[in-house]
Structure 1
């Protein structure tokens, strides 16, 4: 005899890309969903805002690509369009007290040899880039390869350059690139993350650059996350922080910051690793999970937008001890006779994102004739609800880090870019992947449970 049962319900914590697509997927299966977002807006670490005199700029995630399968599906689904960042005329890179100058091609050539070394073994370690642990999980893996794979999670991303015929200029150039890429010090950066990026880019540094620094959305990230949110029928509660999660094998209880409690069959938590310390868990997180939350990831950097006087088509790099590690022109403002540049650095305390003098000092590393008119950004590391920019990995964290959040015996599930198996941490593609995969697994589990109760 069948007994009528209530519709399954799921809470989604966080209205970034992962939370939004998870909510959409869950609703498509007939599950009741409520989204709780601590901020006063949706988008998470993707945030299209107006800065520097009303110009539409990305405070967080920016670039997309058709070889990123999950975000490209959403771009296609919602009829969004892309356009390229501008080609660059002049390149500058710093080593010691010397500033080199050339074309963007010259810079690419200088960088290609060190990148080839840094990405070495990516094909062996990641034969299936969207299944990064395949070598470990495959019982037929050669023990020697497995040992090399595990060893590659130790040390620094630049260690491989120190024993060969690479010059200090080569090392400084690589440090410039990866200080920006890891959004933190290269000295503590796991070599495996760089190799994984390479594997996701057909093991070619040129394609890696194209995927992460070339194409932007015509209507910004806002055009995409607003479109996804519009397809969600359930409530998206803004300014609603979650303070506590009680999770069991059959359900969850959420306590909000205002003290109210709510119950559901499951919760999908999409908060970044850097924000998990602000939520109480009962039972507590596992020891490996808590270890990562306490240690934090390698992400301590920043992104800054800088408007300078005149037309300047430049790309520039400087090692991580400088405030900005990577700088490039993004927008040419003919009506203002100005250029807007975007910059990335490894230490968010090394620059004041909204201070012209601070930005000017950073740009003077390369040229003394770039006059800063305005600057701005968002300090994601200092932001309570992120605690980091994208989640890059410290030495040892590829094996002893984010993968600890994959398995659970309760109805608490983690999702988000920080936990993606593909583009982990760095781009929107990973956030969407994680949201979809987590939601679909939960749908299967809740559907099976619902069927067992009604038969």
Structure 2
């Protein structure tokens, strides 16, 4: 890069990927400006005080085997602590409520999950290079890999060797995991998650649902923001992006046009239809934007009377697929966290509806309050964490990785490693996208 001309990069979005990309660019002498549509930073990570406790409206769990987020936890001196193990487990199947321990529930999941994870070692020998097999030259393996992106995740259990109870448990687990309907969920994502977890269900559970940050996600995203000199313009949506081989111009919602040497768009796939791109995105990418990912669900926090240590599963047809105890408060209440596949099937603030849903497992539970954020209904996200529909593992996130112009995409939706579900993927792409631009701008 020439000393006399300091390059400038515009970043759309102040979530983890945007903030990390800005930090990386600034460290290399590049001027950065960030435009954020919301009135806060953090994106789909949002630590908030609700129900008398500090809660995560979005991203929550972290782990030392997620390399990018663990680096940030270490960098900023943050600490983790475990979510509780439940005393009682309940699961719906065959119109009945079954009861046991969480360990017994986990044991019942082992056999169907082993089938769902089948071939994960073959398909993902390098989990952070998820499409590696396509360059292997092994045509038989490539064909099986492509076929595994079709159909639904539960197809592997429908050969007659699995009980309805096992199918219902897997359905509930992955309705929460994909945060969308299992009938349209690509089987490859589950196999990829298995590969990122040493092909062990216990480690997958630990990475995605066990450890939280003592200071919340804001303990990291606010720390990253504090390291920046860049101006972060809040409540400033970008409505259009023009891009070519030499630079980019973004149009703000008040009509202002801002030119720079490059633009990094960190908006989730579900919000890309709020931005007009010129030239338009390639047709395959446009098709994915129009279809959307599989993540149509929700996350809900529920306060109930009394201390109750529980986890509960329910298959498709029940709005809440998974609910579990997270916090036991001094006022003799418990805060549960829940997930389901369809945000249109629940009112996150409706105590009466949520109590009726919990009564499917435990008629004695009394709901006092409930809350959440409708990410799928939010125009600036349009989805929860990114999970692929059938066919989208191969024709989805990767379509946004390359560009012949100075337009780049970053965010958990486009990650190679922990794609979508955790902050790790957002940080990964913030770093890699910024580094790619740094190399390009140095050579100009």
TM-score (norm 2): 0.99
Do residues 108 (structure 1) and 103 (structure 2) align? no
Report the CA distance between 1:138 and its aligned residue.
2.8
Do residues 227 (structure 1) and 226 (structure 2) align? no
Cα distance in structure 2, aligned partners of 1:3 and 1:294: 41
Report the CA distance between 1:401 and its aligned residue.
1.1
Report the CA distance between 1:273 and its aligned residue.
0.1
Q: For residue 424 of structure 2, what is the aligned residue in structure 1?
A: 429
Report the CA distance between 1:164 and its aligned residue.
3.9
Do residues 374 (structure 1) and 396 (structure 2) align? no
1:328-350 deviations in whole A, cap 9, x for unaligned? 000001x2111000000001011
Instruction: Choose the corresponding residue for 1:361, options 351, 356, 359.
Output: 356
Q: For residue 386 of structure 2, what is the aligned residue in structure 1?
A: 391
Report the CA distance between 1:143 and its aligned residue.
1.4
Q: For residue 72 of structure 2, what is the aligned residue in structure 1?
A: 74
1:287-307 deviations in whole A, cap 9, x for unaligned? 011000000000110000000
Cα distance in structure 2, aligned partners of 1:155 and 1:66: 33
Report the CA distance between 1:320 and its aligned residue.
2.0
User: RMSD value over aligned CA atoms?
Assistant: 1.0
Cα distance in structure 1, aligned partners of 2:225 and 2:360: 43
1:128-156 deviations in whole A, cap 9, x for unaligned? 000001110233xx211111001000000
1:203-259 deviations in whole A, cap 9, x for unaligned? 111100000000000000011100000001110110010000000000001100000
Q: For residue 44 of structure 2, what is the aligned residue in structure 1?
A: 45
Give runs of ≥4 in structure 1 deviating > 4 Å. Answer: none
Report the CA distance between 1:87 and its aligned residue.
1.6
Do residues 272 (structure 1) and 271 (structure 2) align? no
Q: For residue 215 of structure 1, what is the aligned residue in structure 2?
A: 211
Report the CA distance between 1:3 and its aligned residue.
8.2
Q: For residue 452 of structure 1, what is the aligned residue in structure 2?
A: none
Matches within 5 A, 1:304-315: 304-315=300-311
Cα distance in structure 1, aligned partners of 2:371 and 2:257: 38
Do residues 288 (structure 1) and 287 (structure 2) align? no
Cα distance in structure 1, aligned partners of 2:3 and 2:55: 51
TM-score (norm 1): 0.97
Q: For residue 118 of structure 1, what is the aligned residue in structure 2?
A: 116
1:93-137 deviations in whole A, cap 9, x for unaligned? 111211110001000000111111101100000000000011102
Uncovered stretches (5+) of structure 2, i.e. residues with no partner: none
Do residues 240 (structure 1) and 236 (structure 2) align? yes
Cα distance in structure 2, aligned partners of 1:149 and 1:164: 23
Uncovered stretches (5+) of structure 1, i.e. residues with no partner: 450-455
Structure 1 residues 94 and 259: alpha-carbon distance in aligned structure 2, compared to 1, 3 A threshold: same
- Which secondary structure state, in structure 1, belongs to the residue aligned with residue 427 of structure 2? helix
Report the CA distance between 1:323 and its aligned residue.
1.0
Matches within 5 A, 1:9-408: 9-52=8-51, 54-139=52-137, 142-333=138-329, 335-408=330-403
Cα distance in structure 2, aligned partners of 1:248 and 1:241: 21
Instruction: Choose the corresponding residue for 1:439, options 417, 434, 438.
Output: 434
1:372-426 deviations in whole A, cap 9, x for unaligned? 0000000000000000000110000011111111111000000100000000010
1:257-306 deviations in whole A, cap 9, x for unaligned? 00001100000100000000000000001101100000000011000000
Report the CA distance between 1:361 and its aligned residue.
1.3
